[in-house]
Amino acid sequence: MSAKKKSKEGGSSRRKGSKRADLSHAGVKKLASAGAAESLGSTKVRFGKSATDAVTDSLQDFLEELALMLQRLLKTAKRKTITVKLVKEACELIGAPKKVCNAGRVKSTRKNRSSLSSAGILRQLKASGLSKDVRSGGESKEKLVGVAEAYVKHIGHSAGCVTKAAKRKTVMTRDIEVTNCI
């Protein structure tokens, strides 16, 4: 009987594979490709692994800023429960685009699965500075997923515009880096 390999470090790095196992690589790629296809005006958009990794890094940075702002708002309000209103307010305070902050809630059902999991997003928020004892209801989790998905689509759309200007069909890492500077 063979034993499973274990890494030497603890915590989330104990998992084998990607450092960001909480954020689905395939889900991020699907959402970013949809945003890029929207701006290019075609369905044939190629999105490489390195470009998807760049989008995932950008999403993680966004979630880190959101977590710190949520923690600050919860502390001033003396609450321990995240609400839909707090998520929108934190999103606006960190300077996210309006269409990201005004994104609707995404309800994941058996037939209509969300590309990003609410549990994965909450794990990322708690790893980024949100207190471990903070609670969140179902509606606020759906709002967090909606905001994260809208952010990834926004990045994909912006990268698609850069790709279109360069007369290419492949979104590259440098396109993602340019959209992060805008």
Strands (E), 62-172: 81-82, 135-136, 170-171
Question: Global pTM?
Answer: 0.83
Distance CA 34, CA 128 (A): 27
User: For the chain, what is the radius of gyration of the CA atoms?
Assistant: 17
For residue 174, give the nearest of 54, 74, 58 by alpha carbon. 54
What phi and psi values does residue 47 have, to the nearest 5 degrees?
A: -130, 110
Domains in the chain: boundaries: 52-149
DSSP-derived secondary structure for 3-47: PPP--SS-GGGGSSS-TTTTS-HHHHHHHHHHHHHHHHTSS--EE
Strand pairing class (81-82; 135-136): parallel
Q: pLDDT tens digits for the chain (182 residues)? A: 545 544 445 445 555 544 545 788 888 888 988 888 888 887 788 888 899 999 999 999 999 999 999 999 999 989 999 999 999 999 999 999 999 999 888 877 777 778 888 888 998 998 888 888 899 888 999 999 999 999 999 999 999 888 888 888 888 888 888 887 65
Arch. (CATH architecture) of 52-149: Orthogonal Bundle (1.10)
Output the pLDDT for position 164: 87
Output the pLDDT for position 19: 52
Output the pLDDT for position 45: 85
Q: Are 55 and 142 in contact (CB under 8 A)?
A: no
